[in-house]
Chain A
């Protein structure tokens, strides 16, 4: 049994664990970050889809909901999902926080003000060198969507990203080979390591070691890390699994899961688009989002994406003879993700195996909003000059004009009819003051003095259309509260 003893044990190295490691280590604490995935660096990122999905993603990108309908993408490598995201930095809007204060008992949140949350988000943005993508940096796919939206009078704008010195290769999602994307792998973990933190990779934490109401460390196969405080930042799918296996089982554990299911839409243009090159998700449609204190985050957003040939071919459910001519036009394709924030409705269930059951079905409300999102995306691409727009669902005809948009009303709602992905799972260890919450407003697991949760599990509802910055902001607030 290999045993390490430190002051602070952090499970996970993504947006939560990475930021926390830097904060605690730089405050002089001895820290060990335990990461299930491998230690990787830019030299490992060879820009090949198959090899990189195997290396960087949980289940090689095939972590699925119980009915197979949604791929829940999650990084499983040093830097976690911040190593494999597209770099979007979208802080939580004040109305979402108001929603939690009014409807989820956050109240004055122990004196944490809206200004404190905003300052924490700004700190997270500054640490990553984040800023809006300049108009001249938009690739053609993003420009087409911006131009089409402008013609229709819809409002959008460049998104902020954490990239510095981007060369525009387009492979952000399978690891940046240039260290231009400044996730925790680049912006935080080197700082933590320089301050003495140990980054222990390829170690899967099985459970928290408990002594009554105190955590004394974590354990996995052949190792233990002992410490004065334990912070779980394994993400909303796996943090509840660690608690479950540790016999910490509040009633709400694993419940209230939101996945923000997203679906792609593909357009074909007469001239070359090269949607796989340049900066993906650099522009977003803002006017369709609805953010209110009463309902939280709602509506939808559209973001032009990049996809390599393997991912593109795998997502379009045409028989091969029909797929070939479409793929022959690969350089003429444009694509966007329709992102629809959802309400908490799913559950993560951990049994004896090493994989969870993610029990989640999109609601009828989500489905109708998705249809609206796809119609809007189709209108925008048509306004930008697309020859045709395709929803990659079996049995939905091509859209070539406004008249055809009614085809999208036939968008099937059954699992596996439409390829959907989730990159922003949230909930499952809800934070709040009530007995129906897993974590108290001080980030501590209810009933434990020194066991904390520091990831998107905490959020009562969808925090933002991109969870990296809200998680980082929360962790800064946690670190502030710990006096570091």
Chain B
């Protein structure tokens, strides 16, 4: 192959890779969180993913937003060393829907698609996905059912000490 032709092809290939990476990074850039709530522990992008995941796990957008807000407030005060791990987990979830040229994000998926994706992680052959699903599920449910407002449906009469 002539040197000029080889240079043209290699430059073209490099350009292609760079363009794909740029597209991926731009397309996968984090969504901004709900501006009505400024995250305290998590970055806005991670917070948006957390709200979307909790919405699915609690089957209610209102519940998801409230539980996410409580977890975020906890992370801001007592859970600094857990923020990094949770942020990484949320990033993996956020980027999960896409393929090589697919820039969809978890928090922007239609609700049914997001539910199918997250629920599939409960039984995923990939250990880290099961771990993330389990951790988010436990956190969402624990926070939600620790509220006195949730106890009436269960017939739980609450603490004895007042």
CB–CB A46/B161 < 8 A: yes
Known: A177-B161, A309-B151, A313-B144. A417 touches B130 (CB 8 A): yes
Determine the distance from Cα of A310 to Cα of B130 in the docked complex, in whole angstroms: 21
Is A368 among interface residues, defined by CB-CB distance under 8 A?
no
Instruction: Given the known inter-chain contacts A309-B151, A310-B142, A416-B131, please indicate yes or no for A319 contacting B156, CB distance below 8 A.
Output: no
Does any Cβ of A come within 8 Å of B1's Cβ?
A: no
Given A313-B142, A394-B123, decide whether A68 and B134 contact each other with a Cβ distance below 8 A: yes
Whether A310 lies near B161 (C-beta < 8 A) is no
Whether a CB of chain A sits under 8 angstroms from the CB of B99 is no
Among A83-91, A106-114, A320-328, the one that faces the other chain is A320-328
Least distance between B59 CB and chain A CB atoms (Å):
4
Q: Enumerate chain B residues within 8 angstroms of A50, measured Cβ to Cβ.
A: 142-143, 146
In the complex with contacts A59-B82, A68-B134, A327-B153, A311-B127 CB distance below 8 A: no
Q: Which of A47, A323, A330, A395 contacts B160 (CB 8 A)?
A: A47
A59–B123 CA distance with the chains assembled, in angstroms: 26
What's the nearest-Cβ distance from chain B to residue A481, in Å?
A: 39
- Is B123 within 8 A of A68, CB to CB? no
B144 to chain A: closest residue by CB: A313
Given A60-B78, A319-B59, A49 and B146 contact (CB-CB distance below 8 Å): yes
CA–CA, A313 to B153, complex, Å?
Answer: 13
| B15 partner residues in chain A, CB cutoff 8 A | none
CB of A419 within 8 A of CB of B134, answer: yes
Q: Is the CB–CB distance between A353 and B123 below 8 Å?
A: no
Q: Answer yes or no: A171 CB below 8 A from chain B CBs.
A: yes
Interface of A is mostly: loop
Report A305-336 CB contacts with B as 1/0, cut-off 8 Å.
Answer: 00011111111010111011001101100000
Complex Cα gap A311–B139 (Å): 10
- Asked whether, in the complex, the Cβ of B145 is within 8 Å of the Cβ of A310, the reply is yes
Q: At the interface, yes or no: A354 with Cβ under 8 Å from chain B?
A: yes
CB contacts (< 8 Å) of B78 on chain A: these are 54, 60
For the complex, is A484 an interface residue (Cβ under 8 Å from B)? no
Asked if A311 contacts B142 (CB within 8 A), the reply is: yes
Whether A350 sits at the interface, judged by CB under 8 Å, is no
Q: Is B138 an interface residue (CB 8 A)?
A: yes
A67 at the interface (CB under 8 A from B): yes
Query: Closest approach, in angstroms, between the C-beta of A322 and any C-beta of chain B?
Result: 10
Asked, given contacts A319-B59, A416-B127, whether A309 binds B150 with beta carbons under 8 Å apart, the answer is yes
Residues of chain B with a CB closer than 8 A to A416's CB: 127, 130-131, 133-134
For residues 59 through 101 of chain B, which have their beta carbon under 8 Å from a beta carbon of chain A?
A: 59-60, 74, 78-79, 81-82
Determine how close the nearest CB of chain A comes to the CB of B119; give it in whole angstroms.
Answer: 6
Q: Chain B interface: which size bin?
A: 35 or more
> Is B141 an interface position by the 8 A CB rule?
yes
Q: Among residues 411 to 457 in chain A, which have CB atoms less than 8 Å away from a CB atom of chain B?
A: 414-417, 419
Distance between Cα atoms of A167 and B150 in the complex (Å):
25
Closest to B63 in A: A320
State the CA gap A319–B119 with chains docked (Å).
8
Task: From the candidates A45, A47, A313, name the one contacting B145 in the complex (CB within 8 A).
Answer: A313
User: How far does the alpha carbon of A416 sit from the alpha carbon of B156 in the complex, in Å?
Assistant: 28
A50 CA / B127 CA spacing, docked (Å): 27
Contact with B along A35-62 (1 / 0, CB 8 A): 0000000000111111000100001101
CB A413 to nearest CB in B, in angstroms, measures 12
A276 is an interface residue with CB less than 8 A from chain B? yes
Task: Return the CB mask of B24-62 against A: 1 if under 8 Å, else 0.
Answer: 000000000000000000000000000000000111100
Kindly list chain A residues whose C-beta atoms are within 8 Å of the C-beta of B137.
314, 317
In-complex Cβ contact of A48 among B60, B79, B146 (8 A): B146
From A50, which residue of chain B is reached at the shortest CB distance? B146
A355 at interface, CB cutoff 8 A = yes
A406 on the B face (CB < 8 A): no
Residue of A nearest to B134 (CB): A416
Q: How many Å from the CB of B122 to the closest CB on chain A?
A: 5
Which of B74, B127, B160 is most buried by chain A, counting CB atoms within 10 A of its CB? B160
Given contacts A54-B78, A60-B78, A313-B145, 10 further A-B contacts (CB under 8 A): A45-B161, A47-B159, A50-B142, A167-B160, A308-B156, A310-B144, A312-B145, A313-B144, A314-B145, A354-B81
Some 14 contacts from A to B, beta carbons below 8 A apart, are: A47-B159, A48-B146, A49-B142, A309-B151, A317-B122, A319-B59, A321-B59, A327-B153, A328-B153, A328-B154, A330-B154, A394-B122, A415-B130, A417-B130
User: What 4 A-B pairs have minimum CB-CB distances, sorted nearest first?
Assistant: A47-B159, A320-B59, A68-B131, A50-B146
